[in-house]
Amino acid sequence: MVSVKALLLLTLGSITLALPPPLPFPLPLNALIEKRQCVESCGSTCYYQSTINAAVSKGCSYLQSNQQVGTGNYPHVYNNYEGFDFAANSPYYEFPILHSFQPYTGGSPGPDRVVFTGGCALQGLITHTGASGNNFLEC
């Protein structure tokens, strides 16, 4: 006859074997932050790559369909009066990127912008936050 203790050990042993292998410790950084990693900060707002991509995509969609939205008529040409060093040549276009992480469709544009080329290549993020007048600073 099997004792209760032996039965309990046998049951616990089978449960342990059914568990997945333990995770490595410490966890690899990419396991902790996969898609929600801050890649760019404008002022106190940290933007994810997916949010940046969505803003460029939305702005580029308007540009390619020859449409503009909002009182600032976005997207519009960004003249780069500040002289930022972008990878591609002008013309550049600016389009709002919002603190709500939703694509801009009109209304208040907030202080932050994505800058992209006519070919929809991201050049950088700029912000009015901390800049004087209507100037921009790089994020």
Which residues carry out catalysis? 76, 94, 128
* CA 96-36-72 angle, 5° bins: 5
Distance CA 126, CA 89 (A): 17
Report yes or no: 130 and 43 within 8 Å, Cβ to Cβ: yes
Determine the residue type at 110: G
